Amino acid sequence: MTKEEIISKLPYSKPFLFVDEIINVNENGVEGTYTFDETLDFYKGHFKEHPVTPGVILTEVMAQIGLVCLGVFLLNNTLNKNISIALTSTEIEFLKPVFPNEKVIVISEKIYFRFGKLKCKVKMINEREEMVCMGTIAGMILTPTLSKG
């Protein structure tokens, strides 16, 4: 599976697709980038005169690149329209702000993938190679039989 195919299989579209490029991916992790365009709607009110990327959006970028892209790669051709990936837990420590037009790099390392659950250690760095945030993110692969409760 190519890096472009992984991105095309993500269950997101603009303006909620936060993956520009996958740099590297293998069975143990993924590395990818995203640039925060200054025209994104959330910058209009967060904060009025000094826009900063909300932590929930930073977490989403980390989840999309570090968890979902890796999950798509690990599942390869078994991923179909009847399967979705749901976030189950996050524990993120925020260290630096991210401003409009900044490019970030997300690096994920698989902790485990078993019983339909993927857990990763994920970090985000800026172009100055400063740690922006880091933590763990987990998600579950949901099939029609698993999601019926």
Give the residue from 103, 105, 104, 112 showing the smallest Cα distance to 70. 112
Q: Is 50 a catalytic residue?
A: no
**Counting every residue, how long is the chain?**
149
Q: Contact, 139 vs 71, CB < 8 A?
A: yes
CA distance 106 to 22: 9
Catalytic hit among 3, 46, 117, 121:
46
State the DSSP string of 114-137.
Answer: ETTEEEEEEEEEETT--EEEEEEE
Type of residue found at 101 = N
3-state SS assignment for residue 109:
strand
**Which active-site residues does the annotation give?**
46
